[in-house]
Structure 1
Amino acid sequence: METSYPIRLTQQVKAGGCASKLAPGSLRAVLERLPAQHDQNLLVGFDTSDDAGIYLIAPDAALVQTVDFFTPLVDDPFTFGQIAAANALSDVYAMGGRPLTSLAVVCFPQDGDMEILEQIMRGGLNKMSEAECAVAGGHTVRDAEIKFGYAVTGMIDPARVFTNAGAILGDDLILTKAIGTGVITTALKQGRAEPLWVENAIRSMTALNRTAAEVITQVRGVHGMTDITGFGLMGHGREMAMASGVTLEIEVETVPRMDGALEAIRLGAIPAGLLANRDFTECVIAEAPGSHIPDELRTLMFDPQTSGPLLISVAAESAELLRKALRDAGIAAERIGRVAGVYRPESGNPAIVLR
C-alpha cells in the first residue's frame, strides 16, 4: 500500500507514468523523416518500433539498450522509483535480454524536497538490485515536474532476439499481466480510485518481467514479443502487426483486466494518452462481424500501461506448453487471440480485429 506523504506526487504533474509519453502518431511522423542508419552491427534500431536497440559486439554476443523515464503515477516516492525501474528493465526482458548496468535519469525541482528524491532513488535501486542490474551512475537536471527512470544496458544472444516483427500466421497470442494501470492511476490522480484498485495496480507495476522472460526464452516456438506500455495493447499490437505483416485477432473478453479498470472508465478516468492511442490506432482496427463489445471494454484496449505485460506470439502447438510454464512460475498468463491473417495496408485489411 502507499504510505502517507505530505505531498501527493500525482498532483504535481499533468500526466503520470507512460501516459505522459508523446502521442504515438506525432512521434512516428518525426521518426519517419530521419535518415536511415547504415551500420551492419546495428541489428535492431528505432525504425522497427521495437522495445530496445540491439548492437552486435561479437559473433555470439550483442548489447541490448533502452532508456525509459516518466512522471509520477503514484503518490509514494519509493513506490514510484520501483515502478520506474521495473518499467525500464521490461524493455530488455521483452527482447529476450539480461540487464547488466543502468544509469539513472532524474528531473527534479530546484527547490524540491530532497527526501522525496532520496526515496524515489531508493525505490529504483531496490528493483535494480532485485534484477541484479548495477546502477553505475546517472544524470540530473532541474525541472518543474518530477521525472525519473533509467537507461539500461544488457546482453543478448544475437541468434535469440525477440522482436515485434516475428509474429507468424497461425501463432497464438499470450499476455502475461492484466491491463488497466492507466485508467486506475488516473482515477487515483482524480481522487476517485478505490484503495484495493491502487494496491493491485501497484503490485502489478512493481513486478519485474524477469521471470516471464526467463521462462519464455526456454520454450521453443516463440516467434515475436513486445511489452505493452504507453501505447496500450492496441498501439503495441499495431506495431507488432505492421512489423510482421500480419493481422492480429484479439478476443477482447479474454484479455485479463485489473479489478476496478472498467469502473474507472465508467467514472470518466480517461488519461489523455488513451485518447491519443485511440486516435493513432483506430484506423487500422476493425470489429469482427457479429461482435458486440461493450464500450468501456473496448476503451480499455487503448489504455496506456506502465510496467505492463509481455505480448507473445508463439506457435499454436507450443502455446499451451508456454502458458503452463508461465503459470507454474507464478505468471498469470492468458491466451488472448491469434495471428489470423496477412496485413496488407493497400488492400484495406485491418491490422487488428477485435472479437
Structure 2
Amino acid sequence: MSEKVRLTGFSHGGGCGCKIAPAVLERILAEVPKNALPYPGLLVGLENGDDAAVYDVGGGMAVVATTDFFMPIVDDGFDFGRIAATNAISDVYAMGGKPILALAILAMPVDKLPPAVIGDIVRGGLSVCQAAGIPLAGGHSIDSVEPIYGLVALGLVETARIKRNDGGRAGDALVLGKPLGVGILSAALKKGMLSPQGYDTMIEITTRLNTPGPDLAALEGVHAITDVTGFALLGHALEICRGSGLTAHLRVSEVPVIPEAQSLARDGIVTGASGRNWASYGASVKGHDGIADWQRNLLTDPQTSGGLLVSCAQDAVPAVLETFRRHGFAEAAVIGHLAEGEPQVQLLP
C-alpha cells in the first residue's frame, strides 16, 4: 500500500474538466492549417472534431488512433489511472472500433510524488488495458509540474462500420449510455461533500469501459456515435447537430442523472468548466429558459469517461437499448431525437 497523497492538490483542474473550452479551442484551431496534401487513406480527421482519427489500411479494415490525458480527478493513484485509461480507450469504442494496443502518457512532479504513488497510477491504467484485452506496450514519461496521465489508444474497425459524429439523420432517436453528473461529483469530492457511496458510484461509472461501441456499430439502424466527455452532453450533441446539419430536441426529464449528482446540483455544486462550456455554446441552445439553473449545470457538466451518445433510426431503438443492457449499461435511455432545422439543441422539459 503506497502512502496517502492528495493528488488533486497538485493540479489546477481534473479529468475532462481540464479540456480547453470549446470556443477557445475553435479559435486556436482556426489558425491551424488543415492537411495541405491529399491523404486518400485518412477516413476521419480534423473535419468535425470526431472522437478519433481513422486510417484505411486496406482489406476492408481501418486503424483507429486517439490520445487522451488529464490531471487527477480523484486522490487515489490507482483509481486515477483506471479513470484516465478508460476515458482514453472510449474514443476507440465511439468510432465502432475494437481496441488492440495502448501506450502510456506519464507526466509527473517526481520531486513531489513518491514513486509508489506514480506506480499506482500506472498499475491502474494497466488494469483497465487488461480488462479491455489489450497490452500496455510502452509509452513516454516526463518530469512535470502537475501530474498528468493518459493513453494513446489504437484499434481496428471494419470500414463499413465506422461511426462518425456527423451521420445523424432527421427522425433519429438519441440514446445516452451513461448517466450525467461525474463532474459535479468530482467538485463535491474536492469540497469534502461527496458521500462514500457517491465516490463508489463515480468510480464505477468512470471505469466502466464503453464496450457496447462495436456491437452498436454493427446494427443496421445506427447512424452516428460519439462519447460524452469534457464538452458535456450539450456540447457533444451539438457536434452531432453541426456535423449532420440537424436540430437535436432533448427532453431534459428523460436524461439519466446520477441521483447524488442531482441532489448536489440542486444545492449549487457546479464545476468551473460547466460555466466555460455554456459560455462557448449557449447561444446554440434554445429553450433553456424553461429549465432550472441546476438542470442546465448538469447538461453542461464535463463528463470524464462519459457514456456513448447514439443517433439511430426509431425502429433500431429496441436493439440499441438491448445492446447497452447486455453490456451492463442499465441506465441507457432515449433522451430525444434529431429533426430538420438549424444545427442547434432545443431543450424540452
Q: Report the TM range for the smaller structure's normalisation.
A: over 0.9
> What is the aligned partner in structure 2 of residue 271 from structure 1?
271
**Shift in Å at residue 294 of structure 1?**
2.2
- Shift in Å, 1:5: 5.3
Offset, 1:219: 2.0
| C-alpha distance in structure 1 between counterparts of 2:324 and 2:137, whole Å | 32
Alignment of 1:121-270 (within 5 A): 121-210=122-211, 212-270=212-270
Whole-Å separation in 1 of the counterparts to 2:97 and 2:323: 19
Please say if residues 268 and 294 of structure 2, whose CA atoms lie closer than 8 Å, have aligned partners that are also in contact. Answer: no
Q: Which residue of 2 aligns with 1:347?
A: none
Q: Would the aligned equivalents of 1:106 and 1:147 in 2 still touch at CA under 8 Å?
A: yes
Q: 1:339 maps to what in 2?
A: 338
- Aligned residue for 2:273, secondary structure, equals helix
Question: Structure 1, residues 72-93: CA drift from partner, whole Å, max 9, x if none?
Answer: 1011110111111100000000
Q: Deviations over 1:215-263 (max 9, x none)?
A: 3133220000100001000111111100110100100011100121122
Please give the per-residue CA displacement for 1:75-128, whole angstroms capped at 9, x wherever unaligned: 111011111110000000000011111110011012121000100000100000
CA contact (8 A) 1:215 1:326 kept: no
- 2:292 matched to which residue of 1? 294
Q: Which residue is 2:29 aligned to?
A: 31
Contact 1:31 1:47 (C-alpha < 8 Å) held by counterparts: no
Q: Report the identity percentage.
A: 38
Contact 1:78 1:120 in 2 (8 A): yes
Aligned CA-pair RMSD: 1.6
CA distance in 1, matches of 2:284, 2:223: 23
**Structure 1 residues 167 and 215: CA distance shift in structure 2, 3 A:** same
Residue equivalent to 1:348: none
Distance 1:23 1:121 in 2: 28
Q: Given the alignment of the two structures, is residue 50 of structure 1 paired with residue 43 of structure 2, yes or no?
A: no
- Aligned residue for 1:48, secondary structure, equals coil
318, 337, 353: which one aligns with 2:346: 353
Offset of residue 4 of structure 1: 9.4
C-alpha distance in 2, partners of 1:10/1:62?
38
Question: What whole-Å deviation, never above 9, does each CA across 1:4-52 have from its counterpart, x for those lacking one?
Answer: 9521112221111000111111111121222221211111112310000
SS of residue in 2 equivalent to 1:243: helix
Q: Partners of 2:89 and 2:210 in 1: how far apart?
A: 8
Asked if 1:60 is matched to 2:53, the reply is: no
Three-state SS of the structure 2 residue aligned to 1:7 is coil
Q: Distance in 2 between matches of 1:27 and 1:248?
A: 23
Structure 2: 5+ residue stretches without partners:
none
Query: Quick check: 2:249–2:346 contact (8 Å CA) kept in 1?
Result: yes
Indicate the residue corresponding to 1:79 in structure 2.
Answer: 79
The amino acid of 1:197's aligned partner reads: G
